[in-house]
Structure 1
Amino acid sequence: MLREAIDLNALPTHQLEAPEPFEHNFAPTPWLSDCLPEGMAGAATAIAKQVKAPAALAGFAVLHAVGHVAQRIANARRPHDPESGMPCSLFLLSLADSGDRKSECYRLASKPIIDAERKARQGHEQHRQRLEAECAGKPAKEHAGILADLGADPRTIYTEATIEKITQDCCNGSRPALSWSSDEGAQFFGGHSMKGDNATALMGVLTKLYDGSGIERSRISSGSGFRYGVRLSFFLSAQPSVVKSALSDELLRSQGLLARFLLSVPASLKGSRFMSVEDMAPHGHLPEVASYWRTLERMNNSPWQTNEFGDLDLPIAAWSVEATEIWRLQFNQVEAELSPCGELAGISAFAARCGENAARVATVFAVWGMFHTGRADRVVTADDMRRAWELVWYSINEWLRYYQGSALSAVERDAKALLEFLQREPAKWARFTRNELGQRVNSVLRKDAERRRLAIAELVDRRWLVEHGGHLHLVGPVEPEAGILPTAVAVPAVSAVLVDKQAERTANTAETATASCNAQADAEIQCANHHTAKHVDLDADDEVWI
C-alpha cells in the first residue's frame, strides 16, 4: 500500500498505477552451442555442466583460451584486402555476478596453457638463479655476458597487471603474443588508468595492439622503446552492477574500445545448481574436456613463428569461396540495419565491427581445426565462417539488449540515484518536503537546486513520488493484493526476449553462399529473406524482440 498520511481515495487514478521502471530487464540472448566448432563446443558444454555455470560463460572461456594460442599461429585476412593480414586476437567481455563461477570456467578452459606456463616460468627462474650464482665469483664486466644466456621471461598471461607493465615487457623482449585475463573487470574500467587523460592514452595503446600496429613507449627517463609484430588478447569478467556506469561512459564508446569487445551477459544459475550424489563422487574430468585439453596442448606446443627481431611473422588464413560469400551476405545484412532507421543504428559503432570480428573468430576456428581434425592448411571453411557469424550475432544482440535496457539520460540517472537514496531509508522518507530533501540529499543534488528539481519531477512523472498536501510521499513497498509491485528494474508486461534467430539465419546463409558460387542472383534473393533482431511495438508499454 502507499505509505502513511495519504488518502488513497483523494489521489487521482493515474497516481495509483505502478511506478515506471528506469530500466527494462530484457531476457539474455540464448547461447547456441553450435557457434563453436567440434571439440570446442563439447568442451564448453562439459565445463558448464561440471562447474554448473551458464553455457555462455564457459563458451567465452574456451574461445579465449583457443584464441590466446591461435593469435601466434596465423593472421586473419582483412575482409576488403585478401593480401593483407590483421591479428586474430579477440577482446572478450563477460558480465556475471559474483559466485557465477567465472574463474572456474576460465581455469578449466585454460588449464593446459596455465600449467605449461607455470612450468616454463619456474624453469626460467631456476636458470636465472644459477646464472646469478655463476656471476658471484666473476668480475662485474663479465656479468652481462653470463646473464645474456637467460633469455626473456616466458610469461604470456597477465592477470594482475597494468597496461604500463605489459607495454614495458613488450618493449623489453617479452613473448610477442600475450593475453590480459582478469575476473576483476571493475579494476580495469573503474581504475586510475581509465580516468581523464590516462583513459585516452590507455585506449590508444589497446586499439593499436588490437589493430596490429605495434607498440611504442616514449619516456623522458629510461623505459622508452618500440616493437612491431606483437599480439594482445583480452578476457575480462566483471559484475554488471560494478561496471554499468563505466560502460555508459561516452568516451569509452566514442573511442571505439568497447566496440571491439564481444559481449556476453548470461542469466545467473544461482538457486538451481543443486548437487546430486553423482556430482559428489570422484569421476575425473569429462572426456570432452580431456580431448579439448589434448588439442589445446598441441597448439600450445607448436613452434613460435618469429623473425630476427623476435616479432611474429605469420601466414594469413585464406577463405574458401563459400566462406567469402557467407561473410559478404552477413556483412550486407548488418550494413542494411545501420541506416538511420535501422535496428542497429543506436549501436552503430558496435555493429560496424561485426565484419572484422567475424573474420577474426573464423580464423581462430580455422587454426583450431588444423590441430583438432588435422586439416592440412589454414583455410577458413564455410562452417568456420557460419559459426563465427553466429557468435558475432550473439554478441551484437547482447550489446543491443544491454544498451536498450540501460541507456538513461542525465536527468534519469539523477532521478534513479535519488530514488536509491530514498529507498535506503524508506521509513525516514515516507513523507517529506522539498526543503527537507534539499538539506539531506547527497552533495551533488544538494548543491544544485535545478538538478534536484528535475530529478524530483522525473520521479513524480514516473510515479515513484506522489506530491500531495505540500509534501512528497515515497511509493512502496506495496502489498501483493494491491496489484502494484514497484521495482527499479522491471520486465515488460509481455516478456521482452531476443528470440535467437542467428542459427537459422547463418545456416540458411551458408546454403545460400554455396549456391551463389554458381548463381549469384539467387544468393542475393535468399540474403534478402534474412533479418536481424527486429523490434515490434505491441502496445505503449509492451515490447518484444523477435
Structure 2
Amino acid sequence: MTMIQPKPFIEEGPQPLLREIPPGDPYPVDALGPLRAAVLAVQDKTQAPVALAAQSALSVASLAVQAFADVETLGGTAPASLFCLTVARSGERKSGCDKLVLVALRQYEHDKTLEFQIDFARYEAAKKLWDARQANLIKAAAGSGGNAIKAQADLEAMTPPPKPPVEPSRTSPDPTFEGLVKSFFTGFPAKGLFTDEGGSFFGGHAMNSENKLKTCSGLSSFWDGSPINRTRAGDGVGTLWGRRLAAHMMATPVAVRPLLADPIANGQGFLARFLITEPQSEIGYRLRDGYDPKSDLALNQFGARLTSIISTEPPLKEGTQNQLELEPLAVNGEARKLLWDYYCATEQAQRPGGDLSHVTAHASKSAEQAARIAAVMTLWGSLDAREVSAEAMSNGIALAQYYLSEASRLADAAVISEKTEQAEALRLWLQSSWTEPEILPGDVAQLGPNGLRETAKAKEAMSTLAQYGHLVQLPEGTEVRGRSRKLAFRVVRGS
C-alpha cells in the first residue's frame, strides 16, 4: 500500500490514507521443476500462500547447492546463491513454511555440532601440547652451546600448529555483518542468512544509520561472489575468498515499507538482489481440515535430498579448510538463446516510458536471477551436472519474470510512515468499534488501538484523519456528552 500526501477535507468526502496495491500474478508453480512437489506439500500442510512455500524451498535449495558450482551468465559467472525477501502479515505462517523445509538441515546441524564439540576439545588439547613444546624449544634456543643449536633446529623443523575444526553451522539468523563475516573465517564456506524476524534485522543494529551502508554493500558483495575484506581493531586484517551466502528474510509489510523507499538500499542495488514477493493473504480462508498424506512423502524426499547434498564435501582450494574453488555451470545452445532473448526484452522495457523504467535496478539483474534460479534447480537435480538445460533455463526465466513483476508492483508502495499506519489503525477502529457520533482524544487513549494509548499519539492520529476528512474538528467549547470540550471531533461515517 502506498502513502499519499495529506489533503484537506473537500466536498467529495473522506480521502483514503492508503492506496491498495493491485493483486500480484499467480505464482508459476509449474516452473519450480524438482522443487514443485515439496512446495505444494508445504502449501498443503500450512495453507499459506504458495509463494511463501516457494520462497522457503528455493532459498533452502540455494543454501545447499551454492557450495558446488557457480553459473555462467551473459556477463560472466555468478554464484548459485539466491537472496529471497518474503513480505507477509503476522499470522500468515511464514515461519511454518520455513520450518517444514529446514527439518533435515536442523537435524544435520545438531548432529554435526555434537561432533564438532568433540573435535574442538581434541584440537584444544593438541594446541596446548604444541604451544608447550614451542615454548620449551624457544627457551632452550635462547641459551648457548650445543643444546641451543639443536633446539633452534628443532624449532625450525616443528610442524605447523594444529588447525581448529571448521564450525559446521550452515545458517546465521539475525547477525551483524561483522558477526557474519567472522563466522565465515572459522566456519563452513557456504551459509544462509535465514530469519522469520526480518523486521528485527531491518530495524536493528545491522541496519541502523551507522551500519546501513556497510551492511548493504557487504551483503551485496556476498551476493556478487566478491572477496570480502575485513579490517577491525583487535581482529586484524583478513580477506575472505571463495565464500557463498544465500538468504531468506521474512518480514511484515510495515517493517519492509521503509526499506523499499530507502535511498541507500535502493541506490546500492541492495534490494534489487532480492527475489521479493508479497502474496495475497490467505488469513480467514484456511478452513480445510487435514492434509494430503502424500505431502509427508514429498517433504521426506525433499529432506533426504537436502541431507545428501549438505553431507557431500564441496570442492575446496588445495591447502585450505574452507575456501571454495568452484567451476561454473555452462549455459549453451538453446538455454543461452532463451536467456539472451529474456535479457533483450527486459532491457528494452527499461527505456523511458517503458513498463520497467521505474524498476531498472531489478530489471537489470533479472536475467542473472533467471540463470541463478536455473542453476539452483539444475544442481538440486544433480551435483554432477555440467550445464544448464533449456528446460531449466525456461523455468528460471518464468520465475524471474514473476519476481520482476512483483518488484514492479511493489515499487509503487512508497514508505508508509508510522503516523500514517497509526491513523489508518484508528480509522479502522472507528469503523468497527466506535458508535458515538463524536470522539475525544481521551476516548482513543483509553479505548482505541494499542499503539495509540497515549494522548499525544491519539491527538496526532486524529489530526491526520481530520486532514483526510474522516474526522471533523469541532469548534472549541462544543458540548459533547454534557460537557464543554476544548478538543473534540465528529466522526464521518461511511469512510
Same fold (TM over 0.5): yes
Provide the rounded CA distance (Å) in 2 between the counterparts of 1:413 and 1:149.
51
Deviations 1:422-459 (A, max 9, x none): 7578711699xxxxxxxx7569989xxxxx9xx96x96
Aligned counterpart, 1:60:
55
Query: Which runs of structure 2 are paired with 1:246-325 in the superposition (5 Å)?
Result: 246-276=259-289, 278-279=290-291, 286-308=296-318, 309=320, 310-325=322-337
Aligned counterpart, 1:339:
351
Asked if 1:124 is matched to 2:95, the reply is no
Offset of residue 79 of structure 1 = 1.0
TM-score (structure 2 length as normaliser): 0.78
Deviations 1:270-314 (A, max 9, x none): 2222352x55x9x69522222222322222232210112342111
Aligned counterpart, 1:15:
11
Aligned counterpart, 2:26:
30
- Larger deviation, residues 146-155 vs 334-343: 146-155
Asked if 1:157 is matched to 2:171, the reply is yes
Asked if 1:184 is matched to 2:169, the reply is no
Distance 1:443 1:129, change over 3 A: same
Offset of residue 127 of structure 1 = 2.4
Aligned counterpart, 2:409:
401
Provide the rounded CA distance (Å) in 1 between the counterparts of 2:375 and 2:245.
16
Offset of residue 463 of structure 1 = 3.6
Provide the rounded CA distance (Å) in 2 between the counterparts of 1:121 and 1:415.
46
3-state DSSP of counterpart to 1:396? helix
Provide the rounded CA distance (Å) in 2 between the counterparts of 1:148 and 1:414.
54
Q: CA RMSD in A?
A: 3.5
Provide the rounded CA distance (Å) in 2 between the counterparts of 1:270 and 1:241.
17
Aligned counterpart, 2:229:
216
3-state DSSP of counterpart to 2:382? helix
Aligned counterpart, 2:45:
50
Provide the rounded CA distance (Å) in 1 between the counterparts of 2:362 and 2:18.
24
Question: Which structure 1 segments of 5+ residues have no match?
Answer: 1-12, 432-439, 447-451, 479-483, 487-546
Provide the rounded CA distance (Å) in 2 between the counterparts of 1:473 and 1:15.
21
Deviations 1:169-222 (A, max 9, x none): 22x332211111111101221112212231111112111111111111112323
Distance 1:474 1:413, change over 3 A: farther
Asked if 1:390 is matched to 2:386, the reply is no
Q: 2:109·2:169 contact (CA, 8 Å) conserved in 1?
A: yes
Choose the corresponding residue for 1:198, options 211, 214, 218: 211
Provide the rounded CA distance (Å) in 1 between the counterparts of 2:118 and 2:102.
24
Q: 1:88·1:361 contact (CA, 8 Å) conserved in 2?
A: yes
Distance 1:414 1:444, change over 3 A: farther
Q: 2:170·2:192 contact (CA, 8 Å) conserved in 1?
A: yes
Aligned counterpart, 2:90:
98
- Larger deviation, residues 188-197 vs 384-393: 188-197
Provide the rounded CA distance (Å) in 1 between the counterparts of 2:127 and 2:310.
33
Q: 1:177·1:232 contact (CA, 8 Å) conserved in 2?
A: yes
Letter of the 1:266 partner, please give it.
P
Asked if 1:348 is matched to 2:360, the reply is yes
Count of aligned positions: 435
Offset of residue 116 of structure 1 = 1.5
Q: 2:439·2:488 contact (CA, 8 Å) conserved in 1?
A: no
Letter of the 2:298 partner, please give it.
E
Distance 1:21 1:312, change over 3 A: same
3-state DSSP of counterpart to 1:226? strand
Letter of the 1:204 partner, please give it.
S
Letter of the 1:248 partner, please give it.
A
3-state DSSP of counterpart to 2:16? coil
Aligned counterpart, 1:41:
36
Structure number, greater radius of gyration: 2
Provide the rounded CA distance (Å) in 1 between the counterparts of 2:492 and 2:121.
66
Offset of residue 256 of structure 1 = 0.9
Q: 2:82·2:247 contact (CA, 8 Å) conserved in 1?
A: yes
Deviations 1:143-185 (A, max 9, x none): 9989825412112211242211111122x33221111111110
Distance 1:124 1:117, change over 3 A: same
**Identity over the aligned pairs, expressed in percent?**
25
Letter of the 2:297 partner, please give it.
P
Distance 1:343 1:469, change over 3 A: farther
3-state DSSP of counterpart to 2:114? helix
3-state DSSP of counterpart to 1:126? helix
3-state DSSP of counterpart to 2:43? helix
Distance 1:251 1:296, change over 3 A: same
TM-score (structure 1 length as normaliser): 0.71
Provide the rounded CA distance (Å) in 2 between the counterparts of 1:368 and 1:284.
21
Offset of residue 322 of structure 1 = 1.0
Choose the corresponding residue for 1:72, options 67, 76, 80: 67
